[in-house]
Amino acid sequence: CPEAHLCIISNPVNSTVPIVAETLKAAGTYDPRRLFGVTTLDVVRANKFIGDHLGSDPAAMDVTVIGGHAGTTILPILSEVMPGADEEAIKALTHRIQFGGDEVVQAKDGAGSATLSMAYAGARFATRLADALNGASDVVECSFVESDKVDGCSFFSTRVTLGRNGVETIHDVPTLSAFEQEGLDAMKGDLAAQIQKGIDFVAKQ
């Protein structure tokens, strides 16, 4: 089905999305508007952790999370929702969002990883995409897509406006605090390498 919209949630997303892109290119059916890395779990975690920290309903939160979908490539833009917050609190919450999956593994004593939350995140993104394909307007979600918004990274997650044909608009990287800019600068090399790993995997097949 060459016109299918593909939502990739299998880890490592930073590499599996480029793998799918290169595979589709080889088949002559690649359309970057129809390929999405699902990073919604990072947004869900950010909304929960920040909501709890602020004493707010997590369902009312809408934290932007940019970058990729692994460790320090996950960069929540907390300066948008916690302006003027204590820097140590920002650092601690950022780390918790980046490595939230480790908490789950530890809580399960190594017997499993995030399952219910991953299912919820996947369902949420798929539902939002379906809404857009059916004509809903102003559908905006974070997603790891082919992008030119960050030098050196051919795929990147920012907010994306979804429409009847998939990706309509890839939003710019938002204004960053000094701490967030440092995080972006530090992660770009790792993210680029993980993207390239996916591309190289297909080239060797």
Helix (H) or strand (E) holding 8: strand 6-8
Question: DSSP character for 62?
Answer: -
Residue 7 phi, psi dihedral angles, 5° rounding:
-105, 110
Closest CA to 37 of 59, 62, 20: 20
User: Which residues are identified as catalytic?
Assistant: 69
Distant-in-sequence, close-in-space partners of 186: CB < 8 Å, separation ≥ 6: 72
Q: Is the dihedral of CA 74, 96, 102, 100 positive or negative?
A: negative
Whether the link from the prior residue into 12 is cis, omega within 30° of 0, is yes
